[in-house]
Amino acid sequence: MKFAIQINEGPYQHQATDTAYHFTKSALEKGHEVSRVFFYHDGVYNSSRITTPPQDDRHIVNRWAELAEAHSLDMVVCVAAAQRRGVVDDGEAERNGKDATNIHPAFRISGLGQLIEAAVEADRLMVFGD
Amino acid sequence: MSKIKKFMYVNRRAPYGTVYALESLEVVLIGAAFDQDVSLAFIGDGVYQLKSDQDSSDSDQKNFSPIYQALGDYDVSKLYVEKESLEERGLTLEELMPLTYEDEDDDWAEKDSIRVVSRDEMAELMDQQDVLFNF
Amino acid sequence: MSILHTVNKSPFEKNSLDECLTHSTDGCAILLLEDGVYAAMQGTNVESAVKDAMASKKVYALGPDIKLRGLSTDRIIDGIEVVDFAGFVDLSESNDKVQAWL
């Protein structure tokens, strides 16, 4: 079965991204396909590579990145939500004249169409939020 | 893309206090280009999104209520508003924005987009969907 | 056509559980997770509402979230099935869509 995952909340503030992570990991372990993980609203903060949690806590960003690498996950950060919140990749920095980037390379910034497309093509859309 | 899916955007949040209403509306607008069978549900505080007379002239937030009035132009013409949710909040249909679309199957006659449904009807409508979006 | 409803809010803070119960139809599945698991416990003032729903709907609760919050599975309302994340995935598969009462 093909799942699409939508995450509406940022890391540490809300459990949504933890639940989404464990659901995604479990689905993959059971042999399902996760066609896309889409980060929306404050969920875009899950992609900040400069995130620095205390050493004894889970590293939510790296954890997503490792899962993505192991399973070739397509992790997409919504461009409109990211721009509002200052989540930036090289392309966005250049287009908007920003002096820094902060997105982890495991994620890519793209449009909302990616969420709709994932919902059209997947068997299930799973939404995790506040 | 082969099969047309029934998409329902479930709106349960009031506008302005949080960004969810605005950002879900942005998904609806983008989604309109995908030619799916789209409807919007307004449940609970979601009905406040459609309140008429939203006025940002004394605020620095953007009044995004005109976007709802443009939905008809995007072929988004099924806005289900829950009767009980209106009543619980002391609201009537007359206090919501008049939203219309032009029905291409009926010589482009102008029709109301808002359809007031009971809670039970809303539950049935949700059952009939293929995908439920929540924000 | 059956829905898996998920409720992740405490019933004492938000109305998500109530919204779920009043918008779900017979034969559906309801999964309590995150702060939603508080609704699965015996002796609360939402217990009777949950039990009423269980007459026609199947209710589940996410085990790791129960344990994390110091709750005991012994004190869960009889008939609520505790599942792990694999069970959550199975429920998402066996129902044909998911409604998240955020």
ipTM of the assembly? 0.97
* Chain A contact present for B37, CB below 8 A: no
Average pLDDT over residues B31-57: 97
CB contact under 8 A, A30 and C33: no
**Full residue range of the structural domain in which residue B74 is found:** 6-134
- What are chain C's domains? 3-101 (3.40.1260.10)
* Chain B contact present for A80, CB below 8 A: yes
Contacts of C among chains (3+ CB pairs under 8 A) = A, B
- What are chain A's domains? 2-128 (3.40.1260.10)
**Residue B54 in domain:** yes
In the numeric block, which tokens belong to residue A39?
């980060």
**The pLDDT of residue C32:** 98
Per this entry, what is the length of chain A?
Answer: 130
Structure confidence at residue B131 as a pLDDT band (50, 70, 90): very high
CB of B8 closer than 8 Å to CB of B28: no
- Reply yes or no on whether the pLDDT at C65 is more than 70: yes
Calculate the alpha carbon distances from B94 to A44, B28, B51, B114 in Å.
38, 24, 9, 11
What's chain C's average pLDDT?
97
**Residue B25 in domain:** yes
- Chain C residues in contact with A22 (beta carbon < 8 A): 64, 85
CB contact under 8 A, C22 and B44: no
Query: A54, A49, A40: which is closest to A12 by C-alpha?
Result: A54
CA distance to partner chain C, nearest, from residue A43 (Å):
14
- Reported as a single tens digit per residue, the pLDDT across B84-116 is 999 999 999 999 999 999 999 999 999 999 999
**The pLDDT of residue B2:** 62
**The pLDDT of residue A33:** 98
**The pLDDT of residue C24:** 97
Q: Is B3 exposed, middle or buried (0-12, 13-18, 19+ CB in 10 A)?
A: exposed
What's chain B's average pLDDT?
96
**Residue B1 in domain:** no
Active site residues of A: 78
In the numeric block, which tokens belong to residue B51?
């309140």
Structure confidence at residue B77 as a pLDDT band (50, 70, 90): very high
- Chain A residues in contact with C100 (beta carbon < 8 A): 126-129
| Element containing residue A110 per DSSP (H, E) | strand A107-110
- Chain A residues in contact with B26 (beta carbon < 8 A): 80, 112
- Reply yes or no on whether the pLDDT at C23 is more than 60: yes
Tell me the count of A-B CB pairs closer than 8 A: 47
Average pLDDT over residues C48-67: 98
Our count of domains for chain B comes to 1
State the pTM of this model.
Answer: 0.96
* Chain B contact present for A121, CB below 8 A: yes
**Residue B13 in domain:** yes
| Residue where the block lists tokens 């976007």 | B67
CB contact under 8 A, A29 and C33: no
* Cβ count within 10 A of residue C78: 7
Query: C37, C49, C48: which is closest to C73 by C-alpha?
Result: C37
CA distance to partner chain A, nearest, from residue C39 (Å):
17
C3-7, strands of its sheet edge to edge: C81-83, C58-62, C29-32, C3-7, C97-101
**CATH number of domain containing B42:** 3.40.1260.10
Contacts of B among chains (3+ CB pairs under 8 A) = A, C
**The pLDDT of residue B3:** 80
Task: Please name the residues in contact with B18: beta carbons below 8 A apart, sequence gap of 6 or more.
Answer: none
The percent of residues in chain C predicted with pLDDT above 90, rounded, is 99
CA distance to partner chain A, nearest, from residue C10 (Å):
12
Average pLDDT over residues A84-106: 95
- Reply yes or no on whether the pLDDT at C1 is more than 80: no
* Chain A contact present for B63, CB below 8 A: no
Residue in C33, C85, C100 closest to A26 by CB: C85
